[in-house]
Amino acid sequence: MADADSQRSLSALLNGITQRVYHGNTEITEDFLKNELYPGMTQDEFRVLHDKMGSLLKSIASADMDQAQLEAFLTAQTRKQGSSGLNSDQAAALGRFWKAHRSRVRESLVAQSHWEPGLKGLRWRVDLHTSASKGTVANNPVALVELEMGRTGEKSEFVCLEFDEQKVNLVLKKMAELQESIDSIVHRS
Amino acid sequence: MSYYFRLGAKSNLSADDLVSRLSQFSSVFSKPTLQLVHCLWTEHGPILHSQQELLSMASIGQLVDIQWKLGMAVSSDTCRSLNSPFISVLMKIADTSGEASYKTFEMTVPQFQNFYKQFKEMASVLETV
């Protein structure tokens, strides 16, 4: 019973740290976690546990550890003496947690590494411009494209562009080159 | 009717003007319909007109050139093992006065796939229109 409770609390602690560090949930403070999960612990004791779990999680996330690397890492940690070492409960909780949350944490880290404005959205429509010149009527189809660009959490910039068939083909030609490049990397890796 | 609503919004027609044009255009619109239009237009017409003005002010540019770069984010201070491909795009845009400006943005590979797909669809629609 005590073991299950301890596992649950550790799991919740790791979840709370992840929410704050990797998913931007700043409401989940150290104090909040202590009061919710370890009300009986002293402030100092909790700080040691919180910092240790946080630092180990950071190492695991930074190296994007796979199963083998994780096991080796956790084993090494359990062999350490003193307060910086891990007990088997803590090692088990970390192992389970990383298995379940690895891809989401990685997604968040990758997103955080994008500093330039990103493409948030793309909308388009095709209009038919009817123009008359000396009595002749020409139907010119034209694409209107609205690009939404910006950084996460910041106001978007909207850029509206007009494309005729020739311009669209220019974009397609460039994108085809880019696709080739991407494919060649995939083949090499 | 939507033609006249658009005309009304663009030309800032009064409710009376709009209703008189509608009734001149066709006898299909009954008196109660025209009265309803009059009432609605009095309430909403001015807002529609100011929206139209805003739309015409937002300039539509022309793409002059587009360049791309495929990069790999190897490592960062928060993640030593990032290994994440990204695409950087640089667009040269000419505005309605001919002045050139540059816009740059990044895309992930899935975002690029969608971008490419949208342009292919656009090309196909332009061909068939």
A128-138 residue pLDDT tens: 877 766 666 67
Amino acid identity of residue A47, one-letter, is: R
Nearest beta carbon to residue B123 from set A118, A158, A168? A168
Same domain, A154 and A76: no
Domain that holds residue A133: 118-188
Confidence of residue B52 (pLDDT cuts 50, 70, 90): low
Q: Using a cut of 0.80, tell me whether the model's pTM lies above it.
A: no
Using the beta-carbon criterion (under 8 Å), do B116 and A175 form an inter-chain contact?
Answer: yes
Confidence of residue B53 (pLDDT cuts 50, 70, 90): low
Same domain, A91 and A140: no
Domain end call among A113, A138, A155: A113
Across chain A, which has 189 residues, the per-10-residue mean pLDDT values are: 82 96 92 93 94 95 95 94 84 95 94 91 90 69 95 90 94 96 80
Using the beta-carbon criterion (under 8 Å), do A174 and B84 form an inter-chain contact?
Answer: no
The structural domain count of chain A equals 2
pLDDT given for residue B29 in this prediction:
79
Same domain, A7 and A100: yes
Domain end call among A63, A96, A113: A113
Question: Hey, of A175, A179, A182, A189, which one would you mutate to test binding to chain B, going by the most B CBs within 10 A of its CB?
Answer: A175
Nearest beta carbon to residue A182 from set B58, B70, B84? B70
Using the beta-carbon criterion (under 8 Å), do A159 and B88 form an inter-chain contact?
Answer: no
Same domain, A138 and A100: no
Looking up tokens 């342009």 gives B119
Same domain, A32 and A123: no
Using the beta-carbon criterion (under 8 Å), do B123 and A169 form an inter-chain contact?
Answer: yes
Domain end call among A88, A113, A138: A113
Same domain, A91 and A138: no
Same domain, A48 and A66: yes
Q: Identify the helix (H) or strand (E) that includes residue B15.
A: helix B15-25
Same domain, A73 and A150: no
Q: How far is A95 from chain B (nearest CA, A)?
A: 19
What's the CA gap between B37 and B29, in Å, rounded? 10
Using the beta-carbon criterion (under 8 Å), do A62 and B78 form an inter-chain contact?
Answer: yes
Amino acid identity of residue B124, one-letter, is: S
